[in-house]
Structure 1
Amino acid sequence: MLTSLSIQNYALIDNLQVNFNSGLSIITGETGAGKSILLGGLSLILGKRADLSSLKDTDQKCIIEAVFDVSNYNLEGLFKAEDFDYEPQTIIRREILPSGKSRAFVNDSPVNLNSLQVLGERLIDVHSQHQTLQLVSDDFQFEVIDALAKNETLLQDYKQELKQYKTLKKELKELLNFQAEAIKEHDYNSFLLQELTEAQLVEGELEQLEEEYETLSNVEAIQEKLSESYQLLNDEQIGVLSLLNTLKGNFQKLKGYSSRYEDLFNRIESSLIEMDDVFREIDALQDTLEANPNRLEAVHSKLLQINNLLQKHTAHDVTELIAIKNELEEKISVTENLDTAIQQKNNDIDNKTKQLNSISKSIHDNRKQAIPKLVLQLETILGSLGMPNAQFKIDVLFGDGFFANGKDELSFLFTANKGGQFNELKKAASGGELSRIMLAIKSVLSNYIQLPTIIFDEIDSGVSGEISNKMGDIMLSMSKTMQVISITHLPQIAAKGHTHFKVFKEDVDEVTRTNLVKLNHDERIVEIAQMLGGVEMSSSAIAHAKELLN
């Protein structure tokens, strides 16, 4: 609940500090005294956007701070989800700087306005003319029915399943779109893959083929040079091997004279071994080398094939071509297996549909059971609020589509007159009747769910006498389980409060200021007497005020 509110430099307020208690708190004051300013300041705490017009003194910053006791609200999960520091006594502060910049804090940690609005909705419910308009919306009407139907857990399960259902539907659509595009490309990809497959590509083969092509293209020149080299090595007179053998024999005789000759002998012997090995390899090459026009043509064809593929796929080497081939294989495989994937996705959607239908049916059944109870309570309360002929005709029809809160289509009809035609609330009820209906709904809801602090902003407009007395009784009853703050102009309601505040304007140094004070018992008598009879209080007004307070 709201325990304190501090406002500095806001509109007509210089500095205001007020403490609130549990139960029913009343705020009264003349028209234009500044009750709307209080609500405006409180709305900033709840996340409303601000501007420089909010500042009383544009050279000073505006600070609005509220303290809430949230120990009984089970808000730990919300604080964690929004990354707030949880404290049982939570402090929310808004600052509007002269530059126009606005800052918000929860327990001294900066927060954004969206998160503040989420928290604010769980702390204070301001009932104004705007919220009365919510009464005619399907979403709000469903919330009321579901509170009595105790559908909270089912709705959480439903929303989780619905989210997964929508994800599956999106994935199916993407698969179908992909399949449509893939089918267009399938034939072309298959052709490209066939070309690459027929090429029987092997990493590194391009370099080997180019070398083989050079060899086969120059067989005669190579054979000529190999033959010449063979003769240079093996000639009996001047062949390198013959000369090296002679050289080796000379130093074999010299190596005994000096180690230097022995070193030379070893080097000559090593050279002879190496040259003998060269000779044998040249001999072997001559044996294997022969003109092969057929092989030359085959190598040439393979080279043309590979180079054409490199150019076609803008690849740098065979390795890239092999990677492209693998990618095409995967695309074609995916395309050919899409039917299986689509079928599996459809099966998943069918299973999720069954789960959603099952949960939706339970939600529907609970709503059907709760509606007669809701109708009876609303009509009973409205009867005491001067609407004895008020009747509701509420029904839910189990539909085909999945909506945000189930499959039900809601019919929420009303008539204020006996024998009158049932119609939608916005057509069948006047503004004053809507206010009383909303009060009745809030009263019923307070018995089923933990409502936050509720502020009724002149909900009693257009009523008087015994009806206002009944409205006060309803607010007083609600205040047993929650904090209720009522801004009212009716003495019958003002007298019901456990605590009474008065908003007033005063001129100080030719400057108008709005202030708020808590009234004691005697001051309440005066305030209520003035509400009854005007500024010139009669003895009967004072007596009546005392009677109301007693």
Structure 2
Amino acid sequence: MLKQLNVRNFALIQEAVLNFDDQYTVITGETGSGKSILLNALHLLLGERADYKVIGNNGEKAIVEATFLINETEFSHFFTENDIDPEQETIVRREITRQGKSRAFINDIPVQLTILKEFTERLISIHSQYNTLDLKRKDFQLQTLDLLADTRQLQVEFSTLYEQSKNVYKTIETEREKLDQLEKDRDYNDFQLKELEELGLEKNNFPNLEEQLLRFENAVEIQQLTSGIISGLGNEGAVIDQLQSLKSIASRLGRIDKEGQAVEQRIQSVIIELKDIETELSESAGRSEESNEEHRQSLTELLDKYNRLLLKHKCTDQHGLQALQNQLQQTASNTDELRNTITRLEQDFAELKKQLHTVAGELHTQRVKAVSTIEEKIQDSLAELKLPDTRLSFKLEQQEKFNSYGNSSLSLLFSANKGIAPVEIEKAASGGELSRVMLALQQLISEKTQLPTIFFDEIDTGVSGDVAQKIGNLLKQMGTTMQLFAISHLPQVAAKAKHHFKVEKAASGETVQTVIRPLSYEQRIEEIARLMSGETINEAAISNAKALMI
């Protein structure tokens, strides 16, 4: 509940500290006294856009602060999610400055307006005559029906499934678009992959193959040069023979000088190395490269294709082509995986649709069952509000198409008089009738759920006499289960309140201020009498005021 409201430098209110209690509180005051200022201050706490013109003349900023008694457990998730210290007495503050800045706080923690709005909308509901237009909104009608029919939890279950199905369907569409694009590119990708796979990049070493082809292409010259080396090494009188002679000389030297032994060994090592070279070259010369022309041709073709693909794909070496091949193979794998993903998602979507049909059917059935009882209760409430011939009925039809409320199509039908065929309420009811219909609905809703603190702004506009008396009794009854405020100009409505505040203007020098003060029992009698008879209050008005307050 709202425990305290502190308003400073806001429009004509210099400072007002208002302490509130539970049950029904009425706020009265002459036209133009500033009752709307109080509501505008509350609207700031509900996160509405700030109008910087409302800043008063006593400083550079206006402040609206409210203290709420809350159930900490109920709001524990909110406090944890927004890193706010939970307090049973939670303080909400809004500040606006002449420089165009606006700040919001919950328990002195700065918060964004969206966070403030999320919090305070669960605590305060302001209902003006304008808000009766809510009755003309289809979503409001269905929300109201679900609250009164005790189907709200089932509707939330359906709404959750509905959002899940929408998200899954959206994901399916996104994945299908990806698959379509992959399919469009698939033929070309497969062609490129086939070209790369034909190279045998995993088994072939193309730098080595290039060296092999170079030997093929220079086989004659290689043969000639090899023969020249072999001859220079092994022919009679060639290098090896000369080294053998040198070795013999070193051997004789070694017999008389140890250094000669070392020289002999080193010459012997050179001879061995040169003989190995001669042997290897001889074996190599024995293999005829020219005789394998078919292999040379296939090697040429393979390397031509390799170099063409290097140029085509702008790669510098074999590793680049292998990376591209792996990427194309992965793309092919992704295509198959994407098909499997879409199949799984389609199965999930089918299951969700099945659940949606089941829950929607149950939801519609329960709504239909509850309608007649709800209509009877509304009828009783409207009769108490002096609308005995008014009829309000819920016409439900089941549709194939779903929305977040199920597949029930609802028309709220209204007839103000006997013999008049009911039509949709948005086409029939007057403002005064809508106000009373809304009040009747609010009464039934208050019996079903714990509503936040409610402010009724002149909900009694357009009525008087016995109707006003009935509205006063109804507000008093609603106040027994919730904190309720009503701004009213009718004595019958004001007299039924448990608490009473009066708004009035007070002159101070050349300035005028709005003052809001609680009234004592005697002051209440006087105020109600004033509402009945105007500024001239006589004993009859006093007596009538006392009678109304019983």
Deviates more, 1:317-326 or 1:257-266: 257-266
Query: Residue 64 and residue 338 in structure 1: after superposition, are their counterparts in 2 closer, same or farther (change >3 A)?
Result: closer
2:507 match: secondary structure:
strand
* TM-score normalised according to structure 1 size: 0.93
Query: Residue 257 and residue 126 in structure 1: after superposition, are their counterparts in 2 closer, same or farther (change >3 A)?
Result: farther
CA offsets 1:378-432 (integer angstroms, 9 cap, x no match): 1111111110011122122121111011111112101111111111112221100
CA offsets 1:61-98 (integer angstroms, 9 cap, x no match): 22211111111782223434455433221111111123
1:446 match: secondary structure:
helix
**Which letter maps to 2:47?**
G
CA distance in 1, matches of 2:155, 2:258: 103
Aligned residue runs from structure 1 range 9-48, under 5 A = 9-48=9-48
Query: Residue 391 and residue 228 in structure 1: after superposition, are their counterparts in 2 closer, same or farther (change >3 A)?
Result: same
1:447 match: secondary structure:
helix
Matched-pair contact (CA < 8 Å) for 2:72–2:87: no
Aligned residue runs from structure 1 range 213-252, under 5 A = 213-239=213-239, 241-252=240-251
Q: CA RMSD in A?
A: 2.4
Matched, 1:475 2:475: yes
Query: Residue 254 and residue 510 in structure 1: after superposition, are their counterparts in 2 closer, same or farther (change >3 A)?
Result: farther
Q: How far does residue 54 in structure 1 lie from its aligned partner after superposition?
A: 2.2
2:347 match: secondary structure:
helix
Matched-pair contact (CA < 8 Å) for 1:204–1:318: no
Q: How far does residue 265 in structure 1 lie from its aligned partner after superposition?
A: 5.1
Matched-pair contact (CA < 8 Å) for 1:460–1:488: yes
CA distance in 1, matches of 2:535, 2:273: 131
Q: How far does residue 549 in structure 1 lie from its aligned partner after superposition?
A: 2.6
Matched, 1:88 2:85: no
CA distance in 1, matches of 2:256, 2:369: 125
Deviates more, 1:89-98 or 1:265-274: 265-274
CA distance in 1, matches of 2:527, 2:31: 14
CA distance in 2, matches of 1:342, 1:390: 55
Deviates more, 1:226-235 or 1:120-129: 226-235
CA distance in 2, matches of 1:13, 1:152: 41
**Which letter maps to 2:57?**
D
* Equivalence for 1:114: 114
* Equivalence for 2:308: 308
* Equivalence for 1:388: 388
Query: Residue 11 and residue 260 in structure 1: after superposition, are their counterparts in 2 closer, same or farther (change >3 A)?
Result: farther
CA distance in 2, matches of 1:58, 1:208: 91
Matched, 1:415 2:415: yes
* Equivalence for 1:516: 516
1:325 match: secondary structure:
helix
Percent identity (aligned)? 37
CA offsets 1:457-498 (integer angstroms, 9 cap, x no match): 010111111211111111111111110011111111111111
**Which letter maps to 1:28?**
T
Flag structure 2 segments of 5+ consecutive residues without an equivalent.
none
Matched, 1:127 2:155: no
**Which letter maps to 1:19?**
N
Q: How far does residue 305 in structure 1 lie from its aligned partner after superposition?
A: 0.9
Q: How far does residue 134 in structure 1 lie from its aligned partner after superposition?
A: 0.7
CA distance in 1, matches of 2:276, 2:215: 22
CA distance in 2, matches of 1:2, 1:392: 33
**Which letter maps to 1:372?**
S
The count of residues paired between Structure 1 and Structure 2 equals 549
* Equivalence for 1:287: 286
CA distance in 2, matches of 1:256, 1:284: 38
CA distance in 2, matches of 1:258, 1:3: 120
**Which letter maps to 1:23?**
Q
Matched-pair contact (CA < 8 Å) for 1:51–1:100: no
**Which letter maps to 1:30?**
E
CA offsets 1:136-180 (integer angstroms, 9 cap, x no match): 111111111111222233223222221221122223323443444
Matched-pair contact (CA < 8 Å) for 1:73–1:450: no
* Equivalence for 2:174: 174
CA offsets 1:89-133 (integer angstroms, 9 cap, x no match): 111111112311111111111111112112121110100123211
Q: How far does residue 269 in structure 1 lie from its aligned partner after superposition?
A: 4.5
Matched-pair contact (CA < 8 Å) for 2:231–2:238: no
2:302 match: secondary structure:
helix
CA distance in 2, matches of 1:475, 1:7: 26
Query: Residue 220 and residue 383 in structure 1: after superposition, are their counterparts in 2 closer, same or farther (change >3 A)?
Result: same
* Equivalence for 1:155: 155
Q: How far does residue 318 in structure 1 lie from its aligned partner after superposition?
A: 2.9
Q: How far does residue 515 in structure 1 lie from its aligned partner after superposition?
A: 1.5
1:122 match: secondary structure:
coil
**Which letter maps to 2:93?**
R
* TM-score normalised according to structure 2 size: 0.93
Matched-pair contact (CA < 8 Å) for 1:202–1:318: no
